[in-house]
Structure 1
C-alpha cells in the first residue's frame, strides 16, 4: 500500500466553514450578552448561556428554522466538532479552578471548615439522591439505570462553583471576612469531593452497578489521590519550576496546558472524568513552591474571555426551554430547585451552628455555597454525554445553576449586614485591597522634627 493511500482525508470544506461560523457567532453573542448581564448586576455566565439558548432550539429553530438548521445543523459529526472545542475549554477552566485553590487557607481553617463543607455536601447529596429516585422515567435518558441516575442527581445537588463564589465575594468586598474565607474553604472541599463522586457515578454509568467494578473504581481513585500527592506533586512542581526559570516567553503557559491536558487524559483512561485530572493538576500547579502563578495570567485571560464563554454558549445550545412549558416537567423543575436550595442552606446552616458560628454567619455560609454556577453546567453536560439526562432534565439542571448563582449576592448582603466586622477583618481587608491595587498603600508616618537648642 502506498503512503498516500494511508493519509486520512482532511475535514470537509463545508464542515470547516460551518464550524468557523458557529464559533464566531457563538463567541460574539456570548461576549455581547455576557457584558449585558454584568451591567445588569448578574454573573457573565448567565448572558453566555443565554447566547446559546437564543441560537438553539429554544428560540432560533422556532422563529427561523431555515437559518437555525443551516447555522447549527443537528448532525452528530458537526456537533462533535463543536463539543471538542468546548471540552478543551472545560479542561482548562476546571484546571484554573484548582490553581486558584488556596491550600494555606484550607490548612489554616482545618477541621472547622471541613465540618461545614461536609455538612453542606452530605445533606444535599442525600436529599438529591432521594429526589432522583422519585423522578419519572421521562426525565431519564432511555436506557439509563434508575439508581445511577438518582446518584447523579445527588452529585448535581451537592456541588458548588469556586469561580462564581470567589468573584461574588470579591465584588461584594467580603473576601477578607472570616465568613468569606470559610465559604471559600467549604466550597473547595465540596468541589474536590464532588469531582471524585462524579467520577464514581460516571464509572457506574459506563460499567454498570457491579460490586467488583465499583471496588475497582474506588481503588483507581485511591491510587490517583496517592499518585497526585507523591509522584504527581514532584513531577508537576519540577516541570513548572523549570519552565519558570528558563526565561522563555510563554513557556510556563504551554507547560501548564500540557500538564493539565495530559492529566485529564490520564484520568479519562482510568474510566474517571477527565476534568478530575485537570482539577488535581491545577491544585499541584497552584501549590508549586518557587513558581509565581501570576505568569499564567495571559492564559487565564484567554480561558475566561474566549474558551469559557464559548463552552457556556455551546452548553446553552442543548437547552430547550419550551420543554418546560409542560406542567409536569415544570413542577419537577421547581422540586429540583427547592431541594437544591434547601439542601445547601440546611447543610451549611447546621455546619455553621455546630462550629459555633451565629445564625447570621451560618445563613451567609448557606447563601455562599448555594451558588452552583459554571461547575453545575459542566456536570450537566457530562450527564448528557453519559446518557443519563434528557433534554428536559438537562435544561432544569442548567436553570438551577443560573438561579442559585443569582440568589447568592442578595442573601449574602442581607446576612452580612447583620455581622459586625472585627478589627482583624478590617486590617485584612485593607491588605487585600492594597495588594490588588484597589486601594493606595498607607502613607508613611512622617519622622518627628527636632529643633536645635538655642
Structure 2
C-alpha cells in the first residue's frame, strides 16, 4: 500500500477513535492506543510489522513520527499549556513529590525482582535494575492525561509536571549508580560525579540559552520577511535543543519541555498565531503517533509466559506509586484529594523504564521476559491512569 495512503488512513482512524472515546467521556489517548493494538501484534492481526517492504507498514515511519510526537507533546505543554507566570510551585512541593514518588516504586521493583529472582546468578543486581526501571514516571502520558481532563493548569497539575521532569533527572543519577554497582560490584564515585556534573551543566545551559540566545532569535524572526520565519526558527531550534539534550544523556522530551517553557515567557514569540500553529502541528499530526506506537508494542502472547510476574510487578508499581505520590503531596501541603491525584498521575511508565530494561538486557542481567513485562506494564498503566484520574478528579 502506498506510504501516503497508509499514513492518511491511520491518521483519520486515530482521530475518529479519539472522537469516539471523547464522546464516551474518556481521554482521546485511548483511541490512539487502541488503534495501535488493532494494527499491531496485540490482537494477532499484525498489519504493521517489520517484515513488509512499505516503510509505513513496517512501523519504521510510525516509530519516527512517534518520537517526534513525544518531542512536540512536551514542547507544546511547556510553550502553550502552562502559564508559568501565573503558576508558582514551591520547591518543597516538587522535591517531596519527586523524591517520595520515585523512592516507593524503586523499592517495590527491587522487592519484586528479588522475590522472583529475575537474575538467579546475582539476585540483588537484577533487583536493583528492576527497581531503577520502575522509579521513573512517563512524562508524556501523565501530562497528556491531565491536559485531557483540564487539570494541568492547577497547582497540583503543575507539580506533577515539574516533579516528573525532576524525577527523570533523579532516575538518571540512580541509573549511573546502579549500573556501576551491577557491572563492577562497587560504587563508582567517578561515574556518579560525572553524571551530576552533566546534569548541572545541562541546567546551566538551559538558563544561559533562555536568557541570552532565545531573545536574539526572537529579534531575528521579527526582522525577517520570509513567510513563517518565526515558526520555522522555533521548530528548528526545538530539534537542535532536543539533540543537545540527548548528548547530555537525557531524554529529548525533557529538553523539549524546557525549551518550550523558556521561550513561552518571550512575548514576541508566544503570540496567538504561533501558539495556534504549534498546537495544530503537535495535536493534529505528530502527537497521536506517539500513543499509537505504545499500542503497537503490546503483545497478548507475552502474557502466557510472564503473567504472574507482570501482574505482581504491576500491582506493586500502582500501589507504591499512589502511596509515594500521596505522601509526597501531603508533605508538600496538598489536601487529600490533590495528593491522590498526584500519586495517580505519576503511575504511567514508558520511556526511561524501557531504556533501563534495555541496558539490563545488553549487559546480560535482565532477560527479554522482563522487557516484555515492562512493555505490558507501560501499556496498562497508560490505559488505567486516565480512568483512575477521571474518577478522582470528577468525584
Query: What TM-score, normalized to structure 1?
Result: 0.70
Q: Give the C-alpha shift of residue 380 in structure 1.
A: 5.3
Q: Provide the C-alpha distance between the structure 2 equivalents of 1:109 and 1:390, rounded to a whole number of angstroms.
A: 36
Aligned to 1:362: 336
Specify whether residues 54 and 356 from structure 1 end up closer, same or farther in structure 2 by C-alpha distance, changes over 3 A only: closer
| 8 Å contact kept, 2:329–2:342 | no
**Residues 400, 285 of structure 1: alpha-carbon distance in 2 compared, 3 angstrom cutoff:** same
Instruction: Specify which of 293, 301, 311 is matched with residue 314 of structure 1.
Output: 293
**2:227 and 2:209 mapped to 1: Cα distance?**
27
2:284 to 305, 310, 318: 305
What's the RMSD between the two structures over aligned residues? Answer: 3.6
Determine the C-alpha separation between the residues in 2 that align with 1:251 and 1:202. Answer: 41
1:166 is aligned, of 106, 122, 147, to 147
Deviates most, 218-227 or 17-26: 17-26
Residue 60 (structure 1) shift:
4.0
- Once the two structures are TM-superposed, the CA of residue 219 in structure 1 deviates from its matched residue by 1.1
- C-alpha contact 2:102 2:136 (8 A) present in aligned 1: no
1:263 aligns to 2:241 (yes or no): yes
Which of 202, 213, 216 is matched with 1:224 structurally? 202
Answering whether residue 384 of structure 2 is matched by residue 403 of structure 1, we say yes
- Structure 1's unaligned 5+ residue stretches are 1-16, 140-144, 415-454
Inter-partner Cα distance in structure 2 for 1:31 and 1:270: 35
Note the alpha carbon deviations across 1:255-308, whole angstroms, 9 max, x for none: 221111101111222333222222221221223354324322222122112111
Q: Identify the match of residue 90 of structure 2 among 103, 110, 117.
A: 110
Q: Give yes or no for contact 1:244–1:291 (8 Å, CA) kept in 2.
A: no
Superposition deviation, residue 333 in structure 1: 3.3
Partners of 1:52 and 1:316 within 8 A in 2: yes
Is contact 2:133-2:352 (8 Å) kept?
no
| Counterpart contact for 1:52–1:313, Cα < 8 Å | yes
In the TM superposition, residue 88 of structure 1 has moved relative to its aligned partner by 1.7
Indicate if the aligned counterparts of 2:70 and 2:253 stay in contact, CA closer than 8 A. yes
Contact map agreement 1:122 1:158 (CA 8 A) in 2: no
What's 2:255 paired with? 277
Aligned counterpart, 2:367: none
Aligned to 2:156: 183
| TM-score for both structures, normalised by structure 2 | 0.79
SS in 1 for 2:135: helix
Instruction: Give the CA deviation at 1:325.
Output: 4.3
